[in-house]
């Protein structure tokens, strides 16, 4: 059975595409990519159709992680089709929770809830002058995505 994850941040050009790329890289490395549908989206459509921030792309390239997605805005259908939806900070979680239709069975989490180091908030590095915030975001996503996958049973459901 295929499970699905959607990574969400404000504009879908920094944090969520990094998380999307990292998750795809990890499931490929673990040889379970056929078991997953992976995507990312924005809470606002300001950057729709654009590639991720240059610093995000450079950070992924530095770690040999491929990504060629374009920004898109989250839709009502996403809440109906994805099993897990991950926000990057508390503001994302509030917006996702408020937007979630009552008919949705998607589970909404902070991606950082799965960081074994307890670094729960993945801060938006967009307004930083350098790329250090993007590197920190990348490292948090690696730990959190691995942490999430490690908490799943063989069917892709969170263990009790």
Q: Tell me the pLDDT of the chain (160 aa) as tens digits.
A: 799 999 999 999 999 999 999 999 999 999 999 999 999 999 999 999 999 999 999 999 999 999 999 999 999 999 999 999 999 999 999 999 999 999 999 999 999 999 999 999 999 999 999 999 999 999 999 999 999 999 999 889 999 8
Per-domain residue ranges of the chain: 3-150
Tell the residue number behind the tokens 């959190």, with chain if given: 144
Active-site amino acid positions: 9, 15, 124
Q: What one-character DSSP code corresponds to residue 112? A: G
In this structure, the dihedral spanned by the alpha carbons of residues 8, 13, 14 and 20, taken in order and rounded to 10 degrees, is 50
Distance, CA of 66 to CA of 21 (rounded, Å): 7
Homologous superfamily in CATH for domain 3-150 = Response regulator (3.40.50.2300)
DSSP secondary structure string for all residues of 81-94? H-SEEEESSHHHHH
Residue 3 corresponds to which tokens in the numbers above? 């499970």
Q: What one-character DSSP code corresponds to residue 159? A: P
What's phi and psi for 84, nearest 5 deg? -125, 130
């Amino acid at each position: 059975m295929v499970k699905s994850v959607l990574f969400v941040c404000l504009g879908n050009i920094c944090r969520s595409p990094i998380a999307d790329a990292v998750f795809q890289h990890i499931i490929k490395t673990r040889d379970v990519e056929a078991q997953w549908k992976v995507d990312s989206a924005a809470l606002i459509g300001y950057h729709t159709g654009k590639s991720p921030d240059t610093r995000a792309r450079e950070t992924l390239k530095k770690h040999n992680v491929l990504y060629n997605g374009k920004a898109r805005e989250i839709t009502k259908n996403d809440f109906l089709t994805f099993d897990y939806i991950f926000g990057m900070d508390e503001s994302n979680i509030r917006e996702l929770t408020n937007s979630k239709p009552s008919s949705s069975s998607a589970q909404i989490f902070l991606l950082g809830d799965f960081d074994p180091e307890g670094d729960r908030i993945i801060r938006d590095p967009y307004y930083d002058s350098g790329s250090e915030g993007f590197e920190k975001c990348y490292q948090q996503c690696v730990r959190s995505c691995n942490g999430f996958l490690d908490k799943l049973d063989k069917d892709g459901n969170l263990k009790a």
